[in-house]
Amino acid sequence: MDIISILIFFIYSIIILGILVYVSPILSALVMIIIPVAFLFIISVYTLSFLSIIQFSYSGVQIYNLHILIFIWSAFIGVIAYAEMLTWYLLRGTETKQVIQEPLFAAKTPVSEFKGFFQKLYKILKGEKIKPKP
């Protein structure tokens, strides 16, 4: 097996695992897909030659770096899905819903709608539960 390939996949896995644990599972899934796609667009010749390197052969079946990348993807997608389901289960609670009354004629501007959207997006990326409006 090529030691450079092992190091590249190890570093790639450590980056994804670090983002998964310390930042967000959704962001780690995005980074997991974006890194190889970005390398395909930036240096496509080297990336394609790297993914087509044969690592070993088992009973006449040749295993390429592409197969190892797909194996890493499937393993991390399972971990990310499990983390999201566990987070959802732990964050759902038996809270009493508080009804917040807004003024009858509250002015909704595009700026306030964008601000609300980005606040929700920030909460999602942090892993917080978003409370639906009544």
Q: With 70 as the cut, is the pLDDT of residue 106 above it?
A: no
> Which residues 6+ apart lie within 8 Å of 13 measured at CB?
72, 76
Predicted confidence (pLDDT) per residue in 12-63, tens digit: 999 999 999 899 889 999 999 999 999 999 998 998 888 888 888 888 889 8
Q: Which pLDDT value is given to residue 79?
A: 92
Tell me what the pLDDT averaged over the chain comes to: 83
If one compares 92 and 69, the residue with the highest pLDDT of the two is 69
If one compares 105 and 18, the residue with the highest pLDDT of the two is 18
Q: Which pLDDT value is given to residue 107?
A: 64
Dihedrals φ, ψ of 52, to 5°?
A: -100, 10
Instruction: Classify burial at 64, counting beta carbons within 10 Å of its beta carbon; exposed 0-12, middle 13-18, buried 19 or more.
Output: middle
Supply the DSSP string of 77-88, one letter for each residue. Answer: HHHHHHHHHHHH
